[in-house]
A and B are shown apart, each in its own frame.
Chain A
Amino acid sequence: MIKVIRDLLRFDGRFRVAFVFLLAVFTLGLLSLVSPYDPTRTFLVPADLPPSSKFLFGTSSRGQDIFWWMAFAVRNSILLGLLTALVSRVIAIAVGLTAGYRGGLIDRILMSINDSFVVMPVLPILILLSFLLRGQMTMLMLVLIMGLFGWPWDARLIRAQVLSLKERPFTRTAVYSGTNPVAITLNEHLPFVLPVVFATTINNLLWAIGMEVTLSVLGLSNVTLPTIGTTIFWANQHQALVAGIWWWLAAPVVVAIILFLGLYLLFSSINEYIDPRTRLRLIGG
């Protein structure tokens, strides 16, 4: 693992940039553990102060140090994204592999469910759900709901991959080696599917964070929980832009951009690295 990171750092410019970006963002997130301020409390510091050496990101109209608030925001946003990605990955892999390998009725049933989810307009439904659950919207609920919408596209991708892998001679070899279908799926097909899974994970992560930002800006998630989105929400609530308190909006936006860019660059460099074809070139094929 260390060797992989070392190789990537040495040879891939994208990975270097991604590494720096993400390191910065994650460090910010980790700093939340040593924050001198409790993010649920307001008016702890003088309000509306621009960025200075004392308050790195300035302060908000609610009397909060934006720097430390962002530490929590980043941590929560990333956690949210990761959990959503995890939930939808698990569903997508399970559905994709099963539908692809089993085929027949199981495939048709799973794909109908899949397609229903694909067709449903996600944002309006999420808005509706969030509105209905306003009072009880916790991070967990948000994760589950978003996870439920994040798997269909990817399940289809995985299924398509499995369909083609099924036809390849080595699947037959595995069958005649007496391997049972589940083992075939996991041992023979999954390694080919993993690059797809990885690509879609990052994609899903980006989607989840973005979706959370959208919902929060609209005030539909738990607004007392600091996230990148709720920061923008509060800033809008206090008409930060009009009042000239640009740093309150700049902070979440810039952090979001760095996070997204970092994730994207990470995705494209690792994706190339774990692509079976690159792996073959590396081993010397």
Chain B
Amino acid sequence: MSESVKLLDVQHVTMEFHIGGLLGGTRLVAVNDVTFSLERDKPEIFTIAGESGSGKTTLSRLLLRDLEPTRGRVLFEGRDLSHIRHRSEFKEFMKHVQPVFQNPFETFSPLRRVEDYLFDTAVNFGIAPTRRKAAPAVEEVLSQVGLSLAEVSKRYPHELSGGQIQRVSVARALISRPRLILADEPVSMVDASLRMEIVNLFRKLRDEQQVSILYITHDLATAYYISDRIAIMLRGYVVETGLVEEVLNDPLHPYTQLLKESVPKPTPKERNTWARHIELGATEVKEYGRVGCKFAGRCPHVMKICREVDPPDFVVGERAVKCYLYADKTALVEPELAAPA
């Protein structure tokens, strides 16, 4: 078995949408030439951070095989996702890659008991032969997330708090013993006091269960707290990637710098810097259609070339930055980013 088979290998993935009628209409490139990978034997938490319209949601759908990329490929454990045709192959894939969704109160049908989903998953993926025999498996994953079957038994979603439902949602994702969990904004709709329990849970899963987690969020503070590596997305491009401590403590790309500055710190000490004036665009669609770097319209360091040609990835240390400010640092090479040692 080749040891270079990666857990997840995203190769130059591009997703284009055609909006508007059959005649005319425009092309919206939601995901543009994104490349990154996760190693098989080194579980990590990889954050994809971006604001609305950055393409992170589309990217997560591509990784769950909800969509097929216009260009490029997504390989899971060496197998191209677009080669999955039959339901049985898809089921095999789902066993190893599970999602956790954003809205806890929409994740489960309000008319069904939440435990039913747990039992369904256990039976459908062959963890247990029948519902009756699935109780031990369900009990086990619930305890991994800090709950018990007694606590959630016979409950409907609205009888549990947002935090509890998200934990059940993670438990459901764990039943089939996945290698990768895709968490799409898992805590943005959870109360602040309960957020940390979910986020701490992800850390625990990485350390104790050897599960890799793709954490998709706009919240840089929690991303800093738990991730190993981070990729910052802007209008479909990954503008900066690297170890989270490096990227967020010392951001290179002007957009990352703006993002970091704009996150309000939970202390009144630096109020005045945060209150410094910034320009906001009136519409977002204009930025999509822009030629060249998508940030050129707002960038304080913009140069002529930025407005003309899309910047490629420049390697700076262990990071990749799509910015001409670093053009003199290294040769234009597509980096094969190694996971942290």
Contacts and interface: CB of A to CB of B under 8 A. Distances in A.
A279 B111 contact: yes
Given A280-B158, A284-B159, A178 B106 contact: no
Contacts of B176: 178
A107 interface: no
A285 B158 contact: yes
**A interface: dominant SS:** helix
B107 A170 contact: yes
Contacts of B120: 174, 177-179
A192 interface: yes
Interface residues of B, number: 29
B107 to A, nearest CB: 5
A169 B107 contact: yes
Interface string B94-116: 11001101110011111110000
A280 B110 contact: yes
B111 A192 contact: yes
A276 B169 CA distance: 22
Given A173-B117, A173-B172, A180 B87 contact: yes
B99 A176 contact: yes
A243 to B, nearest CB: 58
A276 B103 CA distance: 19
A2 interface: no
Nearest to B176: A178
Nearest to A165: B109
Contacts of A285: 110, 156, 158-159
B274 to A, nearest CB: 34
B76 to A, nearest CB: 15
A173 B121 CA distance: 10
A143 B102 CA distance: 49
Interface string A163-205: 0000011101110111110000001100110000000000000
A283 interface: yes
Contact of B111 (A169, A174, A178, A276): A276
A178 B91 contact: yes
A177 B109 contact: no
Contacts of A191: 109, 111-112
Nearest to A188: B109
Interface in A85-135: none
A172 B100 CA distance: 10
Given A173-B101, A176-B99, A177-B121, A188 B110 contact: no
Contacts of B107: 169-170, 173
B124 interface: yes
A177 B111 contact: no
Contact of A169 (B64, B106, B156): B106
B108 A170 contact: yes
Given A174-B117, A191-B111, A283-B158, A168 B106 contact: yes
A178 B94 contact: yes
A42 to B, nearest CB: 55
B333 to A, nearest CB: 37
Contacts of A279: 111
13 contacts: A169-B102, A169-B106, A170-B106, A170-B107, A174-B109, A177-B117, A177-B121, A191-B109, A191-B111, A276-B110, A279-B111, A280-B110, A284-B158
Given A174-B120, A176-B173, A178-B125, 20 more contacts: A168-B106, A169-B101, A170-B106, A173-B107, A173-B169, A173-B172, A174-B117, A176-B64, A176-B99, A177-B120, A177-B121, A178-B91, A179-B120, A187-B112, A188-B109, A188-B112, A276-B111, A280-B110, A283-B156, A284-B159
